[in-house]
Structure 1
Amino acid sequence: MFKKDLFVFDHTMPVKAVIRNYTKDDFDELIRVQREAFPPPFPEELLWNTEQLKNHITLFPEGALCVEIDGKIAGSITGLIVKLGDNDLKHSWADITDNGYIRNHDCNGNTLYIVDICISPNYRKLGLGKWLLQSMYETVVHLGLDRLLGGGRMPGYHLHSDELSIEEYIEKVLKGELKDPVVSFLLRCTRTPVKPVANYLEDEESLNYGMLMEWRNPFKKENIF
């Protein structure tokens, strides 16, 4: 089981946080956080349901983490293990995560794939998303996996899609000429770009693209895919 005490900062004020595995007792709170993070018109049916959450804690509890502030859940991150090679990167979020049910979890795989990261808006200024990802990096090392991988939205792309291809947009973000709310955040979390994938998820702002970004296990002597 995973449990980590740490301090995050509200401006200059230290705030105690706890990152731990979530359990069945947390389901109502996890769904509450999703509703706060993804309010209408976000479709209700796309929020976590109890069957998905039950699968998370049953099939891969090491990949089901939440963060608490003052005993209240403020966010969560969920992953599964898959086997992926360098030529296996053309996939959708729905296919690679089993629509969030993770019944395709493979304990013999090489890659921890991020299904979802979610922070309640009231707590986003504390940098909790960064620390949840850091905890998943620690899980990659603990399990001896090759890497962490996941697809991020690119909500800034629709503002520039008339004049920039997706590759040109990413290049400008990496040069610091443009800022994308998700890609720039993941870069600050030490994720590195792999490739943009078309038809990754239904998202008008990203024009349905997802940006695959990884974190390689620095303790692995070889990463052969």
Structure 2
Amino acid sequence: MYHSELYVFDQDRPIPVCIRNYTKDDFDQLIEIQSECFPPPFPSELWWNKEQLTNHVTLFPEGALCVEINGELAGSLTGLCVDFDPNDAAHTWGEITDHGYIRNHDPNGNTLYIVDISVRPKYRKLGLGKLMMQAMYHVVIEKGYDRLLGGGRIPGYHKVADQMSPEAYLQAIISGQLKDPVITFLLRCGRVPLGIAKDYLEDEESCNYAVLMEWKNPFKNRQ
């Protein structure tokens, strides 16, 4: 199981943090994190529920990570394993994650797929999301998967949707003309875009689009 103790910096002040697997004892805090990250009008029935969280820690505990600061959970990152074919990449979030219940987790799959990443707003300037993503890369390497994959929202797209396609929006981010809160963050984490996913998630800000973002295991053979 995963356990890493390290420091982050609040300006010049080092703060000890721990990245570890979450357990049933953490469920209340994990739901609290969701409520802070997705406040109303986001529907509360779409926050994690205890049945989903129980599946996470039972079916694939290696993919259930959290970050802790001074005894408080500051964020979480959840994944499952799927068998992914890059030549048949079309899917929705609900299809590939079983709507967050991960009952379709495939222990023999080739890809660690990100279900969700959340960081409490008060901790978002400490780089915790990037640290959790790097921890999940360690899981990919340790388990021998081909890649880490996930769909990244494009919450800035609705502002320019009448001016450009989602493909053009992605290219503008890559070229540095635009910044997007999610995609720019994922690029900083080392993720690389594979393409646009249509009708990925009901998401008004992203106009229901997402960008499939990949991190390839550097220790796997390439053709």
For the aligned pair, the TM-score class normalised by the smaller chain equals over 0.9
Once the 2 structures are TM-superposed, how far is the Cα of residue 221 of structure 1 from its aligned partner? 1.5
Amino acid of the structure 1 residue aligned with 2:95: D
TM-score (norm. length: structure 1):
0.98
Mark the runs of 5 or more structure 2 residues left unpaired by the alignment: none
Report 1:41-60 matches (<5 A).
Answer: 41-60=41-60
Once the 2 structures are TM-superposed, how far is the Cα of residue 132 of structure 1 from its aligned partner? 0.4
Report 1:97-136 matches (<5 A).
Answer: 97-136=97-136
Q: Distance in 1 between matches of 2:86 and 2:76?
A: 28
Q: Distance in 1 between matches of 2:222 and 2:162?
A: 41
Q: Which residue in the other structure is 2:15 paired with?
A: 15
Report 1:160-171 matches (<5 A).
Answer: 160-171=160-171
Amino acid of the structure 1 residue aligned with 2:80: L
Q: Which residue in the other structure is 1:74 paired with?
A: 74
Q: SS of the counterpart of 2:31?
A: helix
Amino acid of the structure 1 residue aligned with 2:22: Y
Q: Distance in 2 between matches of 1:134 and 1:86?
A: 22
Q: Which residue in the other structure is 2:87 paired with?
A: 87
Once the 2 structures are TM-superposed, how far is the Cα of residue 222 of structure 1 from its aligned partner? 3.2
After superposition, give the CA deviation of every residue in 1:190-224 in whole Å (9 maximum; x if it has no partner).
Answer: 0000001100000111000011000000011136x
TM-score (norm. length: structure 2):
0.99
Q: Distance in 2 between matches of 1:68 and 1:168?
A: 38
Q: Distance in 2 between matches of 1:222 and 1:101?
A: 32
Q: Distance in 1 between matches of 2:185 and 2:48?
A: 23
Q: Which residue in the other structure is 1:178 paired with?
A: 178
Mark the runs of 5 or more structure 1 residues left unpaired by the alignment: none
After superposition, give the CA deviation of every residue in 1:66-106 in whole Å (9 maximum; x if it has no partner).
Answer: 00000110000000000011122110000000000000000
Q: Distance in 2 between matches of 1:146 and 1:36?
A: 33
Once the 2 structures are TM-superposed, how far is the Cα of residue 11 of structure 1 from its aligned partner? 1.2
Name the stretch that deviates more: 79-88 or 142-151.
79-88
Q: Which residue in the other structure is 1:26 paired with?
A: 26
Q: Distance in 2 between matches of 1:140 and 1:86?
A: 17
Amino acid of the structure 2 residue aligned with 1:207: C
After superposition, give the CA deviation of every residue in 1:145-169 in whole Å (9 maximum; x if it has no partner).
Answer: 0000000100111111111011111
Q: SS of the counterpart of 1:222?
A: coil
Amino acid of the structure 2 residue aligned with 1:23: T
Q: Which residue in the other structure is 1:63 paired with?
A: 63
Q: SS of the counterpart of 1:129?
A: helix
Q: Distance in 2 between matches of 1:88 and 1:50?
A: 32
Q: Distance in 2 between matches of 1:41 and 1:89?
A: 31
Q: Distance in 1 between matches of 2:88 and 2:6?
A: 37
Q: Distance in 1 between matches of 2:88 and 2:118?
A: 26
Q: How many residues matched? A: 223
Tell whether 2:146 aligns with 1:146: yes
Q: Distance in 2 between matches of 1:81 and 1:155?
A: 26
Name the stretch that deviates more: 84-93 or 209-218.
84-93
Tell whether 2:206 aligns with 1:202: no
Q: Distance in 2 between matches of 1:83 and 1:192?
A: 19
